[in-house]
Amino acid sequence: MVSGVSRPPTPLLLFVCSGNICRSAYAEAYARQLLAGSGIQVASAGTYGIAGQPPTGDLRAVAAEDGLDVRRHRSQGLTPGLAGTATLAYGMTETHLDGIAAAGGAERAALLDPSGGEIADPYGHPLQAYRTMRDQIREAIEARLDDWLALAQEPSPEPSG
């Protein structure tokens, strides 16, 4: 854990990609929809440190196909504060895991795909690349969902002090 940073009493799942305008933004929105009412918080960030950018138009279109509204999403950079407060942090590629580790979250980091596959960046590619990304993220999140819901049932750690 990052010095001086404590984890929230409710679980926080952090999704990390490069710019936080495609993959992690979609993962956050989809996980939020599936985990609604569970008490689990979700967030996303990018290793490039870009702040305040909206999702790409193609991501907005693909998300809308699933009934997800990502129009209010704005990118944020991965920080030690975010990495330190996350219960679990998921990268889309090994490079993102390196970024999570550099921010102090290595012990709670894993690839989002539980089989260890990387999820390619669709940025700059045709709409079909976004649909492929969406399908991979949905499959990965659905594979992890029961484990995440079990987290919500665990008692919160007692504050030390």
What is the pLDDT at residue 154? 73
- Residue range 69-78: average pLDDT? 97
> Is pLDDT above 60 for 42?
yes
Dihedrals φ, ψ of 98, to 5°?
Answer: -60, -40
How confident is the model over 50-79, as a mean pLDDT?
97
* 2-10: average pLDDT: 56
What percent of the chain lies above the pLDDT cut of 70?
Answer: 91
What's the confidence (pLDDT) of residue 161? 45
Q: What is the rounded average pLDDT for all residues in the chain?
A: 92
Annotated domain spans of the chain: 12-152
Q: How open is the CA angle 105-106-108, to the nearest 5 degrees?
A: 70
Q: Name the 3-class secondary structure at 16.
A: strand
Percent of the chain whose predicted confidence (pLDDT) is above 90? 86
For the record, the structure tokens of 97 come out as 């895991």
Q: What is the pTM of this model?
A: 0.91
Instruction: Give the strands of the sheet with 12-17, arranged side by side.
Output: 41-46, 12-17, 88-91, 109-111
Rounded to whole angstroms, the Cα distance separating 98 from 55 reads 23
Give burial (CB, 10 Å; 0-12/13-18/19+) of 107: exposed
* Whether residue 159 has pLDDT greater than 60: no
Task: Give the mean model confidence (pLDDT) for residues 108-128.
Answer: 97
d(CA 8, CA 103): 17
12-152 fold: Rossmann fold (3.40.50)
Q: Averaged over 33-51, what is the pLDDT? A: 96
